[in-house]
Every structure is written in C-alpha cells, then in structure tokens.
Structure 1
C-alpha cells in the first residue's frame, strides 16, 4: 500500500505535510518557493502547484530515510510510481514530472544535490482533451443574457456584464482580468494591457460591445460600489467586489457560470471556457495561428495549436451532417 504522504488522496493535506518536514527540508521548500515567486515571477496558482509537488516529493524522500542530497533518479521514479498507484492520471503524472524537473534543476544550481536526475526522468504522454467551447450563436446569447441582467443598471450587474464581455472579447485569463487596473483600458484604441504569466505584459484589443459595457461599469457602476462599500476611491483595480476591493477569481467564475447557464444547451464552463471559445471563434473566422498565440499570451505555438483540433472537429461534424457521402 503506498505511503499516504505520496498518494493522491493526501494532496489537500500538503500544508500539514510541509509542517511535518524536518526544519532543514522546510528551509529548502521555502527557498524554492521564493525562487518561483520572486525570481521567476510565476503566478500564485503555479507556485502553489510546484511547491506542492516539491513537498510531496521531499516528504517521500524523507519517509524513505534519505536526505535531500540523496535525491536521485531511482527515488524520483519510485515517487512517481507511488503517485500512479494512488490513482494519478497520465496528465497529472506528466505535470508532476515537469514539476520535478524544475525542482531538481533548481536544487542543482543551488548546490543541494550533486547532479540533476530530473533530465533523465521520462514523462507519460499526457492526454489533452479538446476544450469545451460555445458556438458563436451561444456566445451571442450569453452576452445578451448578461446585458439583460444589467438593464436595471444595478452596479454589480453592470460589473458582471463588463467582465463577461471583456473575457470573451479578449480571451484573457481570469487572473489577468482580476489584475487589471483602471488605467489598463485604452478606449481610444480599444485595447487593454494585461500582465500575463511570468510577468509578461501584452496588449489585447477588444470590440465595441465590450467597450460599451466597460464604459457603463466605469462611469456608472464602479462609483456606486465604491460609495456603497465606504471606499475612499483609492483602490486602483478595474473590477471590484461588493466590499470595494479587487474582485477575486472565484467571483468571476461564479459570474461566468451563471451567465452561461442561462443559455439552453450551452456547455457548463467558467472563464477559461470563454477563453477557449474566443480562440476557437478567432480561428474559425480566419485568424492565423501566430496572431491568436500572441493574443492569448501562449509561450509556445503548440499550446495554441490545440484549438485547431477543435475547429477541425467541428468541421468534421458539419461534414457528417451535410455531405451526401459522409
């Protein structure tokens, strides 16, 4: 039976596992966390995932009676085998291999281990399911439902409409949306400046409907929320929660889920589903892959190419329905 520390079921208890590690190992984890967050500038979510994998790996090593300096290929493989026995999927294992490689590379550079075993660690080929997307007509219905909710000029409804419109118009990530400041939107050029993964800044255009929704929110909805929350007006965030502070991703996910659920037949999705939909609709509309890559802020073209499979899948479905010899 696999060690409970290495199993998938223990993922929610990684904080307790981290606290139970010997103090020198805890110091290693803290140093790695600082490296990821401050030196590499990775997002909070990514840092949490990488640190969690490092804690799981080091807990496995310590349980086996070894020191961090003794981390080698055999122990890496044994850790992954324990993960697989606990039910981790191929996609999860592939991600943990990448995470382990990042850790061992850092550990070698900082002198914690004499050689890097991560480079020799092979990863299972991850299964990448096609993302669920809205059809163009469904996306239009979602926007109309959001606009209908804002018709009474309630400040929260105006905010929700602006967030949904901007997410679909730009394809930006939910973290990028939450990180926007008031000055990040340029209405003269209809572009928004976002800070993406790794602290990389990019400029993304948006259309007239999103501009109208943003204008209503900034000029009418946002001042009301600031006043009703007792804020002093110094909060720079573009989108605010009801307490007058920067909106959080959970709120945005709930808003998108509610807007999409109002459309019969639409797939259940959150902000990332709108990002998938925007990318797919851009490609179906004739946009080239490189342009979509730049708009989405993908580091590699391979990530963007996933959406070409979505469009081909749709074309095949249309062909099967419409062609006499399909």
Structure 2
C-alpha cells in the first residue's frame, strides 16, 4: 500500500477515536492493521467494540435517582388532608398565627381536666376551636362524640356536626374512618354603615304606595340578621311598630334593627318578624325553618 494511503487510514482512525468521546458516544469498533498475504500490502480488520457486562449495566441503572412519588397534598398525612388550611396551621404551635378573628377562627380557652381526664381525652390542650365536621354517608354523626369537647348542633341528613374541638385533637378526629373533612366555622358577616339607608327612595316604593295603594297589609316579612339590640329605641321613636315579633335574639348587634326599619319604611302595614342568624349554618337553617313553618 502506498504511504499516502497508510497515512490517511491512520488519520481516519485517530479522528474516530477523538470524535467518539467528545460526542458522548461509545466506540463501535476498533481498526487493527494486519499484514496482507500479498507482498507490500497492509490490510485492516475491524473488531466490534466490547460491551458492558450485565453486572455493570445493572449497577449503572441502579445508580439513577428517581424522584419520589408525592401526592397533590405534598407530605400531609391522611388525617391532615381532611383538615382545612386555617385549622392545620393552628395545630402547628410554631406557626406563630394569632388567635381569633385575625385568622378567621373562633377560639376559646378552657381549663384542662386533671389526669386521668374525666372527659375521655376530649380536652387535651384547653385550646378549643369552633368547627364543622362532615361525616361520610353511612356513618352516624355520633362517631365523633368521643373526641369533640362540646357538640352544639348536628344534622344527620346533612352529615354535619358543629361543635368546639380541642386543637390538639383535630388530627385524631380527622383520622376516624367516618370523617370526611373538618373546617372552621366562620362568624356571620353583617353589612351596615353609620348612615341611614334610603331604601324607600331607592326602590321608589313611595310611588308604589301612592299610585297603587300597596302598603304591605296582609303580608308577613321575616328578617334574619345578627340582632336587634336597640329595637325598643326604634319603637319609641316611631321608626318601628310596637308589634314586631322577635322569635329569638341571642346574638349581639343592630343590623336586624336597621333592616326592620328599611322594610317598615317601604311596607308600613306588613307584619314583621325577626330571628337571629345563629352561629353556624345549622342554626341559620333552623331560623329559616322557624320563620317559614311557624308564623309565616
């Protein structure tokens, strides 16, 4: 073989060996010069590149780090997944969250019974929070009674329990098979300003009364709100009639008084009823039922 050909073959082999590692590829063959049986001619043989042994391949695949499977809720336990975020943060003593209205939670502190607790462990830390506990269909709402400090309301049709539960017991309650979720009871919101609402003018009910003679006679109108603290004052000034029926007023506030005054201005001959809104959704439902079933 001519010297030029030998040089080209050598350069080709060197280039292959250099390019392969740069590209991150494994060499596929090795070129080995051999002496040809013909005088003056050198030939080359191509040998397949050695493959990795099964042991090496297994070790390589085993060294690959795979991401840990994590559910949508991160590292929460099954019990924690059933608890609302606000309550879950409250159970963490290091969260530094303030108590009460700033967190949207209704919280109170009670004495912790001496050990052994006569309440069966219902009060562990003495820090109680007002909660809704929803149970699964097929389970009685009484399945949580052994861990809830004070049950205020329950409704089997809605699978709902309302009560005061110790913050330290929330996860234990959530871990019960019959519990679907636990969330905080948000206090009722009222909407009133410092100025008298001109409802009669806005709705032009004065024109309706004067044109058609509709004054609300024969109608019964029920109001649900926070309270009627100054009902007597409004009756004394003539802003409300003396025959307002107050079915229950256990809350504190005067939005109910203001709403009654607006209705009275619009339909002065209607019969007026009031019931407070209660402290949770079940009490609110009861207020509606009493207004509709009893007097209305």
TM-score (norm 2): 0.26
Query: Which is higher, the Rg of structure 1 or of structure 2?
Result: 2
Q: Which has the higher strand share?
A: 2
Q: Which has the higher helix share?
A: 1
TM-score (norm 1): 0.24
